[in-house]
């Protein structure tokens, strides 16, 4: 599973 860049979400 790839993780999305979590800095993008608030």
Of residues 1-10, those binding another protein (CB under 8 A): 1-10
* DSSP letter assigned to residue 10: -
Question: Least distance in Å: CB of 9 to another protein?
Answer: 7
Using a 10 angstrom Cβ sphere, with 0-12 exposed, 13-18 middle and 19 or more buried, the burial of residue 9 is exposed
Question: Least distance in Å: CB of 3 to another protein?
Answer: 5
Question: Least distance in Å: CB of 1 to another protein?
Answer: 6
Residues composing the chain: 10
Interface with another protein by CB under 8 A: which residues? 1-10
């Amino acid at each position: 599973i790839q993780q999305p860049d979590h800095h993008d979400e608030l």
